[in-house]
Structure 1
Amino acid sequence: MNAEFTAEELAFQKEVREFLEAEFPKDIKHKVDNGIRLEKDDFVRWQKILYKKGWVAPNWPEEYGGTGWTATQKYIFAMEMGLYGAMEPVAFGVKMVAPVIYSFGNEEQKKRFLPDILQSNVWWCQGYSEPNAGSDLASLKTTAVRDGDHYVVNGTKTWTTLGQYADWIFCLVRTDSTVKKQEGISFLLIDMKTPGIKVSPIVLLDGEPEVNEVHFDNVRVPAENLIGEENKGWTYAKVLLTHERTNIAQVPNSKLKLRKLKELAGKTPDGNGGTLLNDPVFVRKLAEVDIQVLALEYAELRTLAAVSVGKAPGPESSILKIVGTEATQFIDELYMEVAAYHNMVHAPEQFAEGFSGEYVGVGSLAASANTYFNNRKKSIYGGSNEVQKNIISKAVLGL
């Protein structure tokens, strides 16, 4: 693969860098650089700036608001965003439900939902996992029974990330229990303000309800909110999951964290008069994860090239998901090793403005433990890594 940029691509890279320097809000940049917790308004404000520029949804078809960029331009944009510390748009709307809507929804649904997603007027969350249906998602029990022009929904979704902010939720629901479990599932869009919906926070180690349970008690949902055909939701869900798994790789974020980790290691004594960069054992680990991230970057480029010509990510998205999450967790382990006694578990104040901990540019040094524990989830959500290995063995190896 030729990784050299053309003159036009270098000019585009320069344009992206200048845009980020001029338009990424300085107060949000301060939060990102100093490990201060971001609020909903921070994400929405930045997404609206991207929308105004026309850059909020690079992977969308141009007819719905995409950029029409080449695969290389998309790569440059994602990499420059990540290395600068600028947040990508929250994935649930732009990168997850939107591709399902513009691929399988009818024209009325596209006109109704896509503009608000593009403009960040509506915050979406995902209703997939259930208390007894996580990696085995097809075993979900939440039901949707047709009653005239509505579906009546009952059940519970769990691990709903940022569900406390959501205006809408896209759900997999069971509409037929008499057939093979994958064949009785439908894809439904539900307004979170509908009577009968209750959101229960799940408080994590850092004291924040990042995830939630969402309970549905006889929730009436207009039948017009069904995407595609009834009982075909599993097909649509698989497309969404391949996009989600590709996003989880997060190569730019890993490269930023590695850069900061090296800076920190160069300031941390090794106990022998040098720094951790003089420690051959630590340097070997650093080199190992560096190589992992580089290999992941090239794999992601190949996937991006396929997406750019209209293909959905295939089994390679599972490879990206496995390697990406393992690389992230490896980097977290090295941060823990560098932080040593500075690690602070369950100290919410470390994420607040004004905390006086040592900052390393991607979160405070004291936050290393919380980051480590929080990111253990990465090898589970989006389909556990064990499930991804089964997908690869079947789709790639034919086993």
Structure 2
Amino acid sequence: MNLDLTPEELAFRDEVRDFLAAALTPELREAGRRATSVFSDKRHSLEWQRILHARGWVAPSWPVEYGGPGWSEMQRHIFAAECARAGAPSLAPMGLKMVGPVIMGYGTADQKAHYLPRILSGEDYWCQGYSEPGAGSDLASLQLRAERDGDHYVLNGSKIWTTHAHWANRMFCLVRTSREGKPQAGITFLLLDMDAPGIRVRPIVTLAGEHEVNEVFFENVRTPVSGRVGEENQGWTVAKYLLEFERGGGSAPGLQAMLQRVRAAAGASGLLTEPGFRRSLGAAEVAVQAIEASELRILASLSAGRNPGPASSMLKTQGAEALQMIDELMLEAAGTYAAPDQPGARAAGSNLDPVGPEWALTAAPRYLNDRAATIYGGSNEIQRDIMARLVLGL
């Protein structure tokens, strides 16, 4: 595969760099710098989304017919890499990267016409109703009941670990519509309104001391059948399609940007003179280089119209483990400055002076938050099982 950029791609890279230099405000850069999760604060995420939407760049992978820019695979890679290097805040992925592609693939014409423009603009802010107290990695065990009543479903049950449910006005949700046959055969995929009577959101405060995830309770919630995506009891097929996007690649540019921050922090704290730390840093750099090589190989396959196979499971596993390696290095570089809990000072635009250097503010909460990276979206143990079956034939 030839991964050298063409003159046209180099010109595109320069266009992206110029745009980012002009469009990213100091507060947006600060929000990107101080993020402690893969999800940015809603206020900054939506502000950045509106800027990108005005430029026509908010959904790099979407087809032109649905409002995407029509970029090649390489252009998407260049854009992601430049956003990571510039420190742009992340966009909420539940609409743009998850339910949006599902609606394109399985939605009705009315659903596409209604939801896709609202996802692009940020008018609809989505959360994902998948996990339940007894159904995490074993998602087929979900029990949230949806009983048909005319042109509505009536929902009773609960969801858990629902990211940004306290901010979302929309949810895409897996529900149980049948108990006959295999568990997967009785699941349906629904789009619903978070303002519907009977929905209650209760916060879960994470190890990092932050409110990012929630429990969501449903008590006789009526939601229209017109919000169903795909056929009744065929939601497992839709859910598997969505997971290809949730577990997808594209992590190397962000990991490389994190490594640069770790190297700068270690230089400031004097750790770069320690042989043990240098070995650990080198191991993390090798891991990220391996991820980049895999992503570029997959990029070449996609550009040639080939199916990359179970690549999403491989990249999800590699990316999550490399992320945790880098978090540990940053925590070590921060030393005692990682100990103070400073939620007020971490907020973008805060006028509170941090205890210690600014880069140490996020070391501990980021480390704690990312412990879940090897669990959410399908645990790494599940991903290794998928790779064993599909790649090794075990």
TM-score (norm 1): 0.93
Give the match for residue 187 of structure 2. 185
CA distance in 1, matches of 2:307, 2:121: 24
Structure 2 residue corresponding to 1:134, chosen from 127, 133, 136:
136
Is 2:9 aligned against 1:9? yes
Structure 2 residue corresponding to 1:286, chosen from 261, 281, 288:
281
Aligned to 1:210, the other structure's residue is in SS state: strand
Residue type of the alignment partner of 1:337: E
Q: Size of the alignment, in residue pairs?
A: 390
Give the alignment of 1:150-299 within 5 angstroms.
Answer: 150-246=152-248, 250-269=251-270, 276-299=271-294
Relative distance call for 1:36 and 1:153 in structure 2 (3 A) is: closer
Relative distance call for 1:371 and 1:191 in structure 2 (3 A) is: same
Aligned to 1:130, the other structure's residue is in SS state: coil
1:66 Cα deviation from its structure 2 partner: 1.5
1:86-118 Cα offsets, whole Å, 9 max, x none, are 123210000000111000111111001101001
Residue type of the alignment partner of 1:283: R
Aligned to 2:339, the other structure's residue is in SS state: coil
Q: Is the contact made by 2:130 and 2:174 (CA closer than 8 Å) also made in structure 1?
A: yes
CA distance in 2, matches of 1:152, 1:303: 43
Is 2:333 aligned against 1:332? no
Give the alignment of 1:48-63 within 5 angstroms.
Answer: 48-63=50-65
Is 2:62 aligned against 1:67? no
1:340 Cα deviation from its structure 2 partner: 1.3
CA distance in 2, matches of 1:312, 1:25: 39
Q: Is the contact made by 1:242 and 1:312 (CA closer than 8 Å) also made in structure 2?
A: no
Which deviates the most, 150-159 or 302-311? 302-311
1:338 Cα deviation from its structure 2 partner: 1.1
1:320-360 Cα offsets, whole Å, 9 max, x none, are 01100000000011111111111126442341313323676
Q: Is the contact made by 2:36 and 2:362 (CA closer than 8 Å) also made in structure 1?
A: no
| Stretches (4+) displaced over 6 A | 309-313
Aligned to 2:181, the other structure's residue is in SS state: coil
Give the match for residue 45 of structure 1. 47
1:41 Cα deviation from its structure 2 partner: 2.0
CA distance in 2, matches of 1:126, 1:369: 26
Q: Is the contact made by 1:126 and 1:160 (CA closer than 8 Å) also made in structure 2?
A: yes
CA distance in 1, matches of 2:246, 2:369: 18
Give the match for residue 272 of structure 1. none
Give the match for residue 122 of structure 1. 124
Aligned to 1:201, the other structure's residue is in SS state: strand
1:378 Cα deviation from its structure 2 partner: 0.4
Give the match for residue 273 of structure 1. none
Aligned to 1:153, the other structure's residue is in SS state: strand
1:204 Cα deviation from its structure 2 partner: 1.9
CA distance in 2, matches of 1:218, 1:309: 49
CA distance in 2, matches of 1:190, 1:365: 40
Q: Is the contact made by 1:171 and 1:188 (CA closer than 8 Å) also made in structure 2?
A: yes
1:211 Cα deviation from its structure 2 partner: 0.2
1:311 Cα deviation from its structure 2 partner: 7.4
CA distance in 1, matches of 2:50, 2:307: 27
Q: Is the contact made by 1:344 and 1:370 (CA closer than 8 Å) also made in structure 2?
A: no
1:387 Cα deviation from its structure 2 partner: 0.4
1:394 Cα deviation from its structure 2 partner: 1.2
Give the alignment of 1:14-29 within 5 angstroms.
Answer: 14-29=14-29
Aligned to 2:191, the other structure's residue is in SS state: strand
Is 2:365 aligned against 1:370? yes
Structure 2 residue corresponding to 1:301, chosen from 262, 274, 296:
296
Is 2:359 aligned against 1:357? no
1:207 Cα deviation from its structure 2 partner: 3.2
CA distance in 1, matches of 2:372, 2:110: 37
CA distance in 2, matches of 1:156, 1:368: 33
TM-score (norm 2): 0.94
1:239 Cα deviation from its structure 2 partner: 1.2
Q: Is the contact made by 1:344 and 1:367 (CA closer than 8 Å) also made in structure 2?
A: no
Residue type of the alignment partner of 2:326: I
Give the match for residue 111 of structure 2. 109
CA distance in 2, matches of 1:36, 1:136: 27
Percent identity over the alignment is 48
The CA RMSD measured in Å over matched residues stands at 2.0
Relative distance call for 1:291 and 1:345 in structure 2 (3 A) is: same
Give the match for residue 81 of structure 1. 83
1:315 Cα deviation from its structure 2 partner: 1.4
Aligned to 2:387, the other structure's residue is in SS state: helix
CA distance in 2, matches of 1:79, 1:41: 23
Residue type of the alignment partner of 1:286: L
Aligned to 1:238, the other structure's residue is in SS state: helix
Which deviates the most, 329-338 or 298-307? 298-307
Which deviates the most, 122-131 or 203-212? 203-212
